[in-house]
Amino acid sequence: MMIIMKPRSTQEQLDEVIVAVEASGLTPHVIVGVEHTVIGAVGDGYLVPTETFEFLDGVESVKRITQPYKLASRQFHPEDSVFPLDGFTVGAGEIAVIAGPCSVESRSQLLETAHAIREAGANALRGGVFKPRTSPYSFQGLGEKGLEYLVEAREQTGMPIVAEIMSEAQLDVMLRYVDVLQVGARNMQNFNLLRAIGKTRLPVLLKRGLSATIDELLMSAEYILAGGNERVMLCERGIRTFETTTRNTTDINAIPVLKSLTHLPVILDPSHSTGYFEFVTAIARAAVAAGADGLIVEVHPNPAEALSDGRQSLKPEKFAEMVSQVKEIARVMGRELAPIHVSAA
- Scan residues 212-231 and list those touching its own copies (CB under 8 A): 213-216, 219, 222-223, 226
Q: What are the residues whose beta carbons fall under 8 Å from the beta carbon of 205, sequence distance 6 or more?
A: 98, 162, 180, 181, 182, 183, 233, 235, 267, 296
Residues 267-296 that bind its own copies (CB under 8 A): 273-274, 278-279, 282-283, 285-291
* Start-end of H helices in 158-233: 171-177, 191-198, 214-226
**Contact region for its own copies (CB under 8 A) — 39-47, 80-88, 154-162, 336-344?**
39-47
Q: Which one of residues 11, 23, 34, 343 is an interface residue with its own copies (CB under 8 A)? A: 34
Identify whether the C-beta of residue 162 lies closer than 8 Å to the C-beta of residue 98: yes
Give whole-number Cα distances, 74 to 33, 86, 209, in Å.
Answer: 34, 25, 22
Q: Please, what is the minimum distance in Å from the beta carbon of residue 306 to its own copies? A: 7
Q: What are the residues whose beta carbons fall under 8 Å from the beta carbon of 24, sequence distance 6 or more?
A: 41, 43, 48, 52
Q: Which one of residues 9, 14, 21, 69 is an interface residue with its own copies (CB under 8 A)? A: 69
**Count of positions on this chain that bind its own copies (CB under 8 A):** 106
289 vs 344, beta carbon nearer its own copies: 289
Return phi, psi of residue 141, to 5°. 100, 160
Residues 43-62 that bind its own copies (CB under 8 A): 43-47, 49, 51, 54-57
Amino acid at 52: T
Residues 157-196 that bind its own copies (CB under 8 A): 166-169, 186-187, 189-193, 195
**Contact region for its own copies (CB under 8 A) — 88-96, 104-112, 144-152, 205-213?**
205-213
Residue 313: HSE in the Cβ half-sphere, 13 Å Cα cutoff? 24
Q: Please, what is the minimum distance in Å from the beta carbon of residue 272 to its own copies? A: 12
Q: Is 312 left (phi over 0), alpha (psi -120 to 50) or beta?
A: alpha
99 vs 212, beta carbon nearer its own copies: 212
Nearest Cα neighbor of 107 from 176, 71, 155 is 155
**Contact region for its own copies (CB under 8 A) — 37-45, 81-89, 91-99, 175-183?**
37-45
Amino acid at 40: G
Q: Please, what is the minimum distance in Å from the beta carbon of residue 157 to its own copies? A: 25
Q: Please, what is the minimum distance in Å from the beta carbon of residue 2 to its own copies? A: 6
Q: Which one of residues 40, 86, 111, 318 is an interface residue with its own copies (CB under 8 A)? A: 40
As a whole number of angstroms, the distance between CA 21 and CA 56 comes to: 11
Binding status of residue 342 toward its own copies by CB under 8 A: no
Q: Which one of residues 11, 79, 245, 343 is an interface residue with its own copies (CB under 8 A)? A: 245
Q: Please, what is the minimum distance in Å from the beta carbon of residue 102 to its own copies? A: 10
87 vs 291, beta carbon nearer its own copies: 291
As a whole number of angstroms, the distance between CA 4 and CA 7 comes to: 9
DSSP letter (8 states) at residue 244: -
As a whole number of angstroms, the distance between CA 320 and CA 53 comes to: 55
Binding status of residue 143 toward its own copies by CB under 8 A: no
Amino acid at 127: G
**Contact region for its own copies (CB under 8 A) — 82-90, 116-124, 155-163, 304-312?**
304-312
Binding mask 78-117 for its own copies (x = CB under 8 A): ----------------------------------------
Q: What are the residues whose beta carbons fall under 8 Å from the beta carbon of 345, sequence distance 6 or more?
A: 155, 156, 157, 158
As a whole number of angstroms, the distance between CA 11 and CA 16 comes to: 9
